Amino acid sequence: MAPVMAPRPRGGPGPFGSRLLGPLDQHGLALRLRVQVLLTVSLVLANLVGAVVVVALALFVIPGPGPVGGTWLVIGVGVPCYVLAAVVGGGVWGTDRVLRVLRWAVDDREPTAEDRRATLRIPLRLTLMQAFLWGLATVVFTVAVGLSQPTLVFTVAFTAGFAGIVVCANAYLLSEFALRPVSARVLSAAPPPRRGPGVLVRMLVFWCLGTGVPVAGVPVVAVFALARGTVPTERLAVTVIVLAAVALVVGLLVTVFTARATVAPIRSVRDGMTRVEQGGLDTRIPVYDGTDLGLLQAGFNRMAAGLADRDRLRDLFGRHVGHEVAAAAVDQLGGAVREVAVVFVDLVGSTGIAATRPPTEVVDLLNRFFTIVVDEVDAHGGLVNKFIGDAVLAVFGAPLTLPDHAGRALAAARALAARLPTELPDCPAGIGVAAGPAFAGNIGDERRFEYTVIGDPVNEAARLTELAKSRPGLLVASARALDAADPAEARRWRTTDAVTLRGRTEETLLAVPV
């Protein structure tokens, strides 16, 4: 069975942590449009946050004289035009570079090793692009204002630099979010790189960018105000309050984005574990995080695959030796002498059947025969221990203790004697039932075990089966099995004669159904 991705409940956040990112099976044009729109919106949103920070800092935070003369033209006209051009140009530039890197995803082909590396580096490249644009703005406008009004140099440099840091932090987190669908396709073929920044480093970096730098701006502005010495107390109070508010808002945004980027992979693993706990061992989750959390997602998939393989092996083992034996083998590899009942069923004239019929027809006949035997043995609580050519050895009372094991074996034998002539009239089978103490456990070499039952009841049942082939009803049991059975089942049988079975020295009292 092919592995399936863990579905989300209706109305849930989706396989990538958000319904905005779409379903798992999106490819080609749909994937390109979604990534393009989300990246464009992400970059615009990050720059809008930066523009708001610039306005708040310029109007309320930096103490000192306002712009005069030509400085108004630089700030009032140049800054908005540059921001607009940077947003549009940067969006076009960044989107074009991203789509070139993601050509493999648009064409629905498997990524190469170079494609994987380039795809995982897209958020960093977009962030460096934003850093270049805002760094260029800081230099250009600081120089321009310095030529016309030198007293505003610190104001412009601090404002643009501070806003650039905010934009870079948000651009990285938002672009990483938008690229989760393609990251999942990249990381599905290969695990995330083990080297590089992990969750701790990422959280510390974004704390510095989103909270540390804004908070550090408070003492910087205070030192600048003290250096001037002419800032009114009211103005300084407003400056500190607004700067603290900006730090809180920006820090909250960056913290929320960082927390969502951290929680989404953990939540996907949690949902996958819930599915596995409910029996869905074919569950797989998309791996879309390039940090330690991606290793966690990939590790979950490997764990689920290992559990599925182990379950298949256990099921296969159970089909060979019986599920009860498979379960008992987990706890112990030895064995013990137990009171058991044995049912031996053997087809009559199987050699002639094999000589006169095609092999495929013989196999089909044996499978129908085995199906009937397994049905009745299972229905009465026994264990089909092995198939011996055209014969079946069934055990009652091992490896698990079974109440009235002899009565169940006798009832199963009667049911088989009734079904086989009706469902397989051309293939009669002799049935023998015996009971007594026998060794039940694993035998063989340490490299290969076999669970079996060894003892006098097994030999006696086999000899009774040979005898039953020449008796009416084709079913014979030992009187010792009747003695060990519940009276309700024993009353359905009657004893007949005593015979000395082949290979035995003592007589065996026989019993047949009433």
**pLDDT tens-digit series, residues 412-448:** 999 999 999 999 888 899 999 999 999 887 777 766 7
CA atoms within 13 A on the CB side of 302: 9
Distance CA 425, CA 241 (A): 97
Three-class SS of residue 71? helix
450 three-class SS? strand
CA distance 186 to 27: 13
* Percent of the chain at pLDDT exceeding 90: 20
- At residue 2 the predicted structure's pLDDT band, cuts being 50, 70 and 90, is very low
Q: Which of 25-34, 61-70, 238-247, 455-464 has the highest mean pLDDT?
A: 455-464
- Tokens 């570079």 — which residue? 97
Contact yes or no for 17/264 (Cβ under 8 A) = yes
Indicate the burial class of 202 (C-beta count within 10 angstroms; 0-12, 13-18, 19 or more). buried
406 vs 498: CA distance, rounded Å: 20
Residue 333 has pLDDT above 70, yes or no: no
Top mean pLDDT of 43-52, 160-169, 294-303, 456-465 is at: 456-465
Distance, in Å, from the CA atom of 281 to the CA atom of 307, rounded to the nearest integer, reads 7
**Tokens for 452?**
């079996």
pLDDT confidence band for 329 (50 / 70 / 90) = low
Which helix (DSSP H) or strand (DSSP E) does residue 79 occupy?
Answer: helix 79-101
Tokens matching residue 221: 């502005």
pTM, whole model, 2 decimals?
A: 0.54
Higher per-residue confidence, 335 vs 456: 456
C-alpha torsion sign, points 314, 319, 324, 329 = negative
Better-predicted residue by pLDDT, 491 or 134:
491
Could you give the angle at the alpha carbon of 382 between the alpha carbons of 374 and 419, nearest 5°? 40
pLDDT score for 339: 92
List, in order of start, the domains of the chain with CATH numbers: 28-308 (no CATH), 323-513 (3.30.70.1230)
Kindly report, residue by residue over 64-77, the tens digit of the pLDDT.
555 555 666 666 67
For the residues of 150-213, what is the DSSP string, one character each? GGGHHHHHHHHHHHHHHHHHHHHHHHHHHTHHHHHHHHHHSPPPSSS--HHHHHHHHHIIIIIH
Average pLDDT, the chain: 79
- Cα torsion 67, 68, 74, 77: sign: positive
* Strongest mean pLDDT among 252-261, 382-391, 438-447: 382-391
Spatial distance between the Cα atoms of 423 and 123, rounded to a whole number of angstroms = 70
The tokens for 134 are 């805002």
Distance of CA 158 to the CA centre of its chain: 48
Question: Quick check: 383 and 322 in contact, CB under 8 A?
Answer: yes
Neighbours of 226 (CB within 10 A): 11
